[in-house]
Amino acid sequence: MPLGHEFPAQPCRLCGTATRRLVADRGRGGAPLETALCTGCGLVSHAEIPAEAEVSAFYATRYRLEYKGGFAPKRKHALRALRGAMARARRLAPLLPAHARVLDIGASSGEFTFVMREAGFTASGLEPNWGYAEFARREYGVEIGQGGWDSADFPREALHLVTMNHVMEHLTDPWAAMRRIHEALAPEGLLFIEVPNLEGVRKQLTNTFHAAHIWNFTPATLIAAAWQAGFTPRAGENLSHTSIVFRKRRAEDAPPLGADAAHAEALWRQMTQEQSRRAYLLSAAPITRRWQRLIRNIGEHVTTRRHATIRAMGEALLDAAALEPASPWAARHGWRMGGRRQPANSAATRAKA
């Protein structure tokens, strides 16, 4: 099929339109991968959605090996994950009641579960890859079950926060996952979702899509998908990004706008014009991206060499963060027992509080 070709397809999960436009026939690295745009709303996905059994087997065994090079994170990857997890915790912790029950779906090597536990919450995670799940349990001592969103029985209305950080784009059925989460969340519970933002991306189109990302969202299509599953963004969220905290929607909430044919056409123009090879090479991106990567790698090398273990690196980052104003980890400051720092939600720490 030539690029730009419109073809009939199954009705779009978001808007019901049965027409797609082919936007790419190759993924990252030049591997064959047909990616299609819904002409009715702008939702972008694989032209053919893979079977759930195939996807589940891939994430349980091969995904981490192919994308990270092993069944446990390298130190630089753990450092990035710790920093990202702490940033999310700073954002989310103030929204939660004390000792809130938190579940991280797609927990990777356990960093978010670890930092939320150390902030005093009852935190657990689910991770489909056996190696990363085992690493999280061994290195951080956190509760991580091996499996995906459909692998555990969640009590109804039992959780205060569920997070899916760069997970939804990998799922064959994000709607089913969000509906399951809706049932498990307390009435005032929150759902945090972050996915790559296709809108305004400044990459070559040939480096934008890859096999692991079945769906490619924009703010408009992410919000519309969450609405269908019973969610709406909480007040104050920045709706120009695809990192959003959702709450359960109510009868008086108005349906979201923006996922429509005009949005689809704008994305098509972006991908064919702004993301062309010529536009990319004429921009500063090829130089700035490489320079930023070099500086980051040097800094990570220096930081990771300071610590004997990944756990020690995480402890040091949390100890430093405990001194920040209104830090989620403020209880860590100055608390040591028997030479070992106690988790913020441990019985010994609560007894001293």
The mean pLDDT of the chain is: 90
Question: How confident is the model over 187-239, as pLDDT tens digits?
Answer: 999 999 999 999 988 778 878 998 999 999 999 999 999 999 999 999 999 99
Report the alpha-carbon distance of residue 115 to residue 96 in Å, rounded. Answer: 15
Fold classification of 48-249+258-298 (topology level): Rossmann fold (3.40.50)
pLDDT reported for residue 347: 34
Q: Which residues pair with 325 in a beta bridge?
A: none
Q: Which is more confidently placed, 189 or 331?
A: 189
Percent of the chain with pLDDT over 70: 93
Which residues belong to CATH 3.40.50.150 in the chain? 48-249+258-298
Per the listing, tokens 């403020």 go with 330
pLDDT reported for residue 340: 45
pLDDT reported for residue 275: 75
Q: Is the pLDDT of residue 346 over 60?
A: no
- At residue 333 the predicted structure's pLDDT band, cuts being 50, 70 and 90, is low
Burial class of residue 209, CB neighbours in 10 A (0-12, 13-18, 19+): buried
Burial class of residue 110, CB neighbours in 10 A (0-12, 13-18, 19+): buried
Question: How confident is the model over 227-275, as pLDDT tens digits?
Answer: 999 999 999 999 999 999 999 999 999 999 999 999 999 999 999 888 7
Going by the DSSP 8-state scheme, the letter that residue 337 receives in this structure is B
Token reading at 281: 């090479």
Helix axis angle, 285-304 to 75-92, nearest 10°: 100
Q: Which is more confidently placed, 341 or 78?
A: 78
Q: Is the pLDDT of residue 335 over 60?
A: no
CB neighbour burial string for 68-88, b if at least 16 within 10 angstroms, e if fewer: beeebbebebbbebbebbbeb
Q: Which residues pair with 124 in a beta bridge?
A: 103, 143
Q: Is the pLDDT of residue 284 over 50?
A: yes
Question: How confident is the model over 69-122, as pLDDT tens digits?
Answer: 777 899 999 999 999 999 999 999 999 999 999 999 999 999 999 999 999 999
Report the alpha-carbon distance of residue 9 to residue 12 in Å, rounded. Answer: 8
Report the alpha-carbon distance of residue 89 to residue 95 in Å, rounded. Answer: 10
Q: Which residues pair with 248 in a beta bridge?
A: 231
pLDDT reported for residue 163: 98
CA-wise closest residue to 198 among 219, 226, 214: 219
CA-wise closest residue to 310 among 107, 75, 148, 97: 75
pLDDT reported for residue 334: 55
Residue 65 contacts residue 71 (beta carbons within 8 Å): yes
As a whole number, mean pLDDT of residues 142-153 equals 90
What residue spans of 50-196 are helical by DSSP H?
Answer: 52-57, 63-68, 75-92, 111-118, 130-140, 174-184
CA-wise closest residue to 24 among 201, 289, 204: 204
Per the listing, tokens 């480096």 go with 207
- At residue 353 the predicted structure's pLDDT band, cuts being 50, 70 and 90, is very low
Torsion of CA 52, 227, 24, 195, to 10 degrees: -80
Q: Which is more confidently placed, 126 or 201?
A: 126
Say how many C-beta atoms besides its own lie within 10 A of residue 150's C-beta: 15
Q: Is the pLDDT of residue 341 over 70?
A: no
**pTM for the full predicted model:** 0.90
Q: Is the pLDDT of residue 352 over 50?
A: no
pLDDT reported for residue 185: 97
As a whole number, mean pLDDT of residues 166-185 equals 97
Token reading at 308: 């004997």
Query: What sign results for the dihedral spanned by CA atoms 291, 294, 297, 302?
Result: negative
